[in-house]
Every structure is written in C-alpha cells, then in structure tokens.
Structure 1
C-alpha cells in the first residue's frame, strides 16, 4: 500500500500538475492497463480512495483513472486488431469448463456404488482407486475454470492438506471420535455405518457433487462483479452493488449443497447431517473463492486452525486413557454427549463466519476483480 506521506508529496496545491506526478509514480500500471477500470482498481489497491482523488480535482477514483488512462503513452494510438479465436475451439473450451466440475461428484458416486457392492480386499481396492480418481478430478477442477487460482498464486496451494483433513474428518472423524469415547475402535472401518468404526459417506458425496454449483456460482459472481465494475462511478458505489451479489452467491451455493445432502442421505439411508456439512461446505467454498481471487493468507490460517482443533480434540480423547489424564478428554466428551456433530459444526462454523466477514471486506473491493500487477 502506498505510504500516505509519499502520496502527499507531489500532490500539494502548489504542484503544477499533480496528475502527471501520479502517472509517473504508477507508470507501469497505467501503461499495461487495457481500460480505465483496471487503473481504478490498481489505484485502490495502492490506498488511493475517492477522498484522495479530490486532491487531484476529480470527484472519484474512476474519474481520475480515466484521465490517467488517456494520458498514458500508447493508449491514444489505434490498436492493431487482435486475431479472433476460432469459434469451435472457444465453444469447446467453454463446454469443458462447464462440465469439468461435474467430474468429482460423478467419480465419487461411482466409488460409493463400488463400495456398496463389494467386500473384503476388493472393497479396499475400490476405495483406493476411488480416492485417487476423485483427488485427480478435484485437482483438475481447482486448476482450471472459476475455482482456479490466479497466475500469481502457485497452482499447488498450501491449503490442500488442510482441505483433505477436513474432508477426511467428515468421512471418518465422527465415527472415530464416538468409538474412541466408548473405548474403541476395536477394528478398521468396513465402509458402512455399521462396524467398529462407522463411516458417514453422504456428507462427502454431497460436497463432491457440490463442486459443480460452487464453480458455476463463482463464475456468476465474478462475471457480474466485473460488469458492476463497468457501471459503477465510485468505489463505494461498486462495493454497495457487490455486497448483495456476494450474499446471493453464498446463499445459492449453500442451498444447492443442502439439496444435494438431502438427496445423498436419502439414497444412502444415512442421517441428515445438515449442520456439520453446511458449515464445512461454507468454509471450503469461501476459502476457495478468496484463493481464486488471489487472497490466500486468510484461507490458509483458518483452515489450519480448524484442522488443528479437530486433530487436538481427537488426540485429547486418546490421551485421556493415560493414567491421571482423564480430565484432558472431559471437554470433548461433554461436547459430544450434547451432540455428536457439535465438534465439526462449531469448528467449521466459527472459521466460516470469520472467512465470511473477511470475504465481504475483500471481494467488495474493485481491486479484487482485476488481474494482479506483474512482478517487477
């Protein structure tokens, strides 16, 4: 962010042409911009607000950006027409982006069917193949399309291990926790709700199926936000128009996830685990929405805290079996006695709420919807 003292230098009333000084300071931004909107977003990212724009005799940052764009070298020249892409290839790419998010859910559903119709070592092989297939499909979805990362974010995100832990806990965690509190588990999971270590498959199936609505709603949000960027006449005006759009995006995804969970629970004849699935889905969706727009720190921190809290809760139950360590397990035992799903619902729900507040502070800024500046 631009230092306020640095911003004041060259913009005082005595300066002959303060806009020219600003153009020189942000020359790279102004020359590479394809339209004034990109300059406006870049200025906002550097700490220049509508109030600051008044020092340059402009009513808002958008008006200031238009003058900077007009003055930037090369923008007054007639651009050479760019070659148009061939329609078939463009249509094929769009189709792939629309259909690719369906792949993780389809592979997960096929894996669940295989688990239900196999047994013994064959079931173990089917589970291993299913996990590998779903992992590769999710990796492809998170590399391309609306849920893909920006160019400035490494393709292999540091949040992957936390995401898999949270998803694994939704599959195995509640069963392991319940078995541990009752003195078990006495054996490995057998792939069903029955047995020494019960599995809850419906939440994971619903989450993988929800990759499609997550990608589609993220694309809808990004497209509409950029459209609002073109029609807004100020940073506050843009933020006010994007807030209801962001609220609708999150609500639409959660509604789709709830419907998929209801269908999955009914087909698999499992309990309707609404609270823990919606909170986990909201946490993962918000984390990915932020990451896709280039904001990776907050998702990494919140996913790490959530995964560490769940791991510590499980560890405390097993540690409570040691002589004199029974009080360590007391908080978790009390919580699960009240509600078996309270632990994942509280941990994921608290983290999702914090990320939701951060999302409304971050993705309602104009600078969140333009390409990042290239490294110098």
Structure 2
C-alpha cells in the first residue's frame, strides 16, 4: 500500500514563513498556521496595526501577504487580530492614555535655560569667577541635555541606546566651541597657549532642543495616524517620507532663526541636523546606526587636527598629510571642517532614515 501523501486530509499543514512558496489551495488554512507561528505577537497586540508592524519587522511584504490570499500586510494583520483566541474573561488590551505633556515640555526647555544662564554667568564674571561660571554652566547644560533625552518624544523606548553616543555628542559640542580656534593655532605652528573659544552656537543649539522635541512628537503621532489610514506598506512609506523631510526642514528653519540671533554658523546648523537625525533614529529603534554616524563625525574632526600635527614629523611624505585640511581652511576658514564633516554625516543619516523610518515597524507602539 502506498504511503499516504503529505497533502492528504490527515496531514498537518506545512509551516509557512515570509519566504515560503505560495500555499496550495485546499483544506489547509495558511492564515491559521501563521497565527500559531506568531501567536505571542497576535495575543499581545493592542490592534491590527501592531501585528502589521511586527510582521513587517520579520520580513513580510505586501507580496508575501498575497501568498496568504490577502492584498497587503495590513489586511492580513486584521484577520490575524480578529481570529486570535481570547478568553471570555480577558478584556482586550486598552490603548494607553496620552501621557501628560507638561513634564517633557519642561525637560525640552531645560537645555536652553541652562545655556542662557551659563552665558549670563560668563558675561557678568571674569578671572577665576568666569572659569567657575563656565564649569558650572557646562555641567548644568550636560545635565539638562540628559534630562531632555530621557523624557518625552526624545526618549528611546525601553532605554535602548548606545552609551558611547553621549560621549560622541559631547565631543561634537566641545569641538563647536573650541575646535575652530584650536585648529587655527595648530595650522600656524601652535598651540601657543589658550586659543579663542566660540561658545555662541551653544545657546541656539540648546534652545533648538525644544522645537526638536516638538517635531519628534508630531512626526511620531502623525506617522502612527498614517498607519491607520494606509492600505499597504508602500502606501505608508510614500506618506511617511514627506513627514520626515518636513520635520527635518522645520527644525533647520528654527535653528537658522536662532543662529541668526547670535551669529550664523553653518557648522552649527550642520551639527544640529546631525543630532536631530541621530536622535530620531535612536527613538525609532536604530541606535547603532545613529551612534556610528556620530562616531564617524568625531573621528573625522580628530583626524583633521591629527593630520596637521603629523605633518610636522621631519620625514619625507608627512607634509602632504596636512594638505587637504590646509586647502579647505584657506578656502573657507577653520569652520569649514565641522561644516563638511557634520554635513556629510547628516546627509548619510538622512538617506538611511528615509528608508528606515518609512517602515511601519519603526512606529510600533512600544
């Protein structure tokens, strides 16, 4: 007697995945099999949107959903959510209430207040008092920045961050204050003592934290609303990309206006764009990419200083190491180095973010 076929009535349904071939039509229920494979995701989901985001994160596309006889991932998620078994006494998960906005608004305003007080202290003091005021202001600004990124829209869900990213951010801010003066002295054979500091960009950058938090809040809330209105992943991506570009554009306009009050600096504008994109990626689940971009910018700024110092080595060929930095600074001044470095890093993050943040899984409720 021939062995019973695997597709016979008593055979179990085959396990399916995002890359599985199109299931044959018959008595097998591919959606039921998929529901069992992703049972935990379906049971804990507040609504079908979370299931769609979870499936997308595992590689599902609208084309994959067609293999399960659905037009898109959202339609498939709706059926999974409707068919998930729930106990009679277990109420569906409730959508968490909107958090109180005042605490994160105050946290977002804290860096600007700390920077303003530090600037006032530096203006009213001199000598040792000025040093003490500057030190206290730097510590206060650091604490305010930490508070701002741990509350509200700039907070990474679950605390998923790369600790080194904070060090890279501090380096970039320190270079914005002291880097140009140090590079100018190194290019002329120094440093020969204290060099000029340019703390002017710190106040606009600190004040820009508030519009950045507000922009991040609007981007996240409107992206989740677009998920509700979209009928496919491609449709959602087409609506999410303009939201991201609009958020970045509004932040750059706000920062440009703030920089105009203290003296416009293209390097500070590029740094502001880099920090905003890095934080958006961190908030939406891509902290490693954000940290890598910040680290690359720090390395490039350090390399610019090191190449000029290395050119002093009395050996053939070392003089050429400083040629790119010298040519750039002679053409546009020392500020061209952070402008080029931070601008390139920001463009790289923007290119990555237009793909990563246009995915529904990047906006799933944590």
Aligned positions of 1:72-91 closer than 5 A: 72-74=84-86, 79=91
Q: CA distance change for structure 1 residues 180 and 38 in 2, over 3 Å: closer, same or farther?
A: same
| Match 1:160 to one of 163, 166, 172 | 166
Q: How far apart, CA to CA, are the structure 1 residues paired with 2:336 and 2:218?
A: 33
Q: How far apart, CA to CA, are the structure 1 residues paired with 2:234 and 2:55?
A: 14
Structure 2 residue 322 is the aligned partner of structure 1 residue 310: no
Q: How far apart, CA to CA, are the structure 2 residues paired with 1:358 and 1:83?
A: 31
Structure 2 residue 58 is the aligned partner of structure 1 residue 60: no
Q: CA distance change for structure 1 residues 82 and 284 in 2, over 3 Å: closer, same or farther?
A: closer
Q: How far apart, CA to CA, are the structure 1 residues paired with 2:78 and 2:351?
A: 32
Structure 2 residue 14 is the aligned partner of structure 1 residue 20: no
Corresponding residue for residue 280 of structure 2: 289
Structure 2 residue 362 is the aligned partner of structure 1 residue 368: yes
| Match 1:171 to one of 174, 177, 180 | 177
Do the aligned residues in 2 keep the contact of 1:12 with 1:18 (CA within 8 Å)?
no
Q: CA deviation at 1:199?
A: 1.2
Q: CA distance change for structure 1 residues 36 and 75 in 2, over 3 Å: closer, same or farther?
A: farther
Q: CA deviation at 1:316?
A: 1.5
Q: How far apart, CA to CA, are the structure 2 residues paired with 1:76 and 1:70?
A: 14
Q: CA distance change for structure 1 residues 15 and 298 in 2, over 3 Å: closer, same or farther?
A: farther
Task: In structure 1, list runs of 5 or more residues that go unmatched.
Answer: 189-196, 266-271
Corresponding residue for residue 191 of structure 1: none
Do the aligned residues in 1 keep the contact of 2:16 with 2:34 (CA within 8 Å)?
no
Q: CA deviation at 1:185?
A: 2.5
Query: Which sits farther off after the overlay, 336-345 or 74-83?
Result: 74-83
Q: CA distance change for structure 1 residues 12 and 84 in 2, over 3 Å: closer, same or farther?
A: closer
Q: CA distance change for structure 1 residues 248 and 56 in 2, over 3 Å: closer, same or farther?
A: same
Q: How far apart, CA to CA, are the structure 2 residues paired with 1:338 and 1:15?
A: 74
Q: How far apart, CA to CA, are the structure 1 residues paired with 2:21 and 2:285?
A: 31
Q: CA distance change for structure 1 residues 323 and 82 in 2, over 3 Å: closer, same or farther?
A: closer
Encode CA deviations 1:294-347: one digit per residue, 9 max, x unaligned: 111211111111100110111121222232333222221111111112211111
Aligned positions of 1:206-225 closer than 5 A: 206-225=204-223
Matched residue count: 349
Structure 2-normalised TM-score?
A: 0.90
Corresponding residue for residue 131 of structure 2: 124
Structure 2 residue 283 is the aligned partner of structure 1 residue 277: no
Aligned positions of 1:1-376 closer than 5 A: 7-8=19-20, 11-13=23-25, 16-74=28-86, 79=91, 93-151=100-158, 153-154=160-161, 157-188=163-194, 197-265=195-263, 272-273=264-265, 275-324=266-315, 325-340=318-333, 341-371=335-365
Encode CA deviations 1:121-175: one digit per residue, 9 max, x unaligned: 1111111111111111110111111001111604x63211111111111111011
Q: CA deviation at 1:284?
A: 0.7
Tell me the secondary structure at the aligned position of residue 198 of structure 1.
coil
Do the aligned residues in 2 keep the contact of 1:101 with 1:141 (CA within 8 Å)?
yes
Encode CA deviations 1:195-215: one digit per residue, 9 max, x unaligned: xx1111221211111000000
Encode CA deviations 1:40-95: one digit per residue, 9 max, x unaligned: 1111111111111111111111110011001112187662797998xxxx88x321
Q: CA distance change for structure 1 residues 343 and 82 in 2, over 3 Å: closer, same or farther?
A: closer
Tell me the secondary structure at the aligned position of residue 146 of structure 1.
helix
Q: CA distance change for structure 1 residues 15 and 135 in 2, over 3 Å: closer, same or farther?
A: farther
Do the aligned residues in 2 keep the contact of 1:70 with 1:76 (CA within 8 Å)?
no
Q: Quick check: which has more Rg, 1 or 2?
A: 2
The Cα RMSD (Å) is 2.3
Q: CA distance change for structure 1 residues 183 and 83 in 2, over 3 Å: closer, same or farther?
A: closer
Q: How far apart, CA to CA, are the structure 2 residues paired with 1:39 and 1:186?
A: 62
